[in-house]
Structure 1
Amino acid sequence: MLYFGGLFGLITLGLWLFCLVDVITTPDGDHRHLSKTPWLLIVLFFPLAGSIVWLVAGKPTRGPARPRPYERTMPSFPEYDRPGRFAADDPTSDAEFLRRCRERAEEQRRKAREAEGD
Structure 2
Amino acid sequence: MLRFLPGLIALVLAIYTLVDCVQTPEEQVRGLPKVVWVFVILLFPYAGPAGWWFAGRPRALALPGRETGRPRPPRPKGPDDDPDFLRNL
TM-score grouping bracket, smaller chain normalisation: 0.5 to 0.7
CA contact (8 A) 1:29 1:35 kept: no
Verify: 1:32 aligned to 2:22, yes or no. no
Find the structure with the greater CA-based Rg. 1
CA positional deviation for 1:35: 1.5
The residue aligned with 2:55 is 57
Structure 1 residues without counterparts, runs of 5 or longer: 64-77, 79-118
The residue aligned with 1:17 is 15
Cα distance between partner residues in 2 of 1:20 and 1:5: 24
Verify: 1:6 aligned to 2:4, yes or no. yes
Cα distance between partner residues in 2 of 1:55 and 1:5: 26
Alignment: residue pair count: 62
Write out per-residue CA displacement over residues 53-73 of structure 1, whole angstroms, 9 at most, x where no aligned residue: 11111111224xxxxxxxxxx
The residue aligned with 2:43 is 45
Structure 2 residues without counterparts, runs of 5 or longer: 62-69, 71-89
Structure 2-normalised TM-score?
0.62
More helix, by proportion: 1
The RMSD of aligned alpha carbons is 1.6
Q: Which runs of 4+ in 1 moved over 3 A?
A: none
Cα distance between partner residues in 2 of 1:33 and 1:43: 14
Structure 1-normalised TM-score?
0.48
Compare relative contact order (CA 8 Å, sep 6+) and give the higher one, 1 or 2. Answer: 2
Query: What letter is aligned with 1:54?
Result: W
Cα distance between partner residues in 2 of 1:4 and 1:17: 20
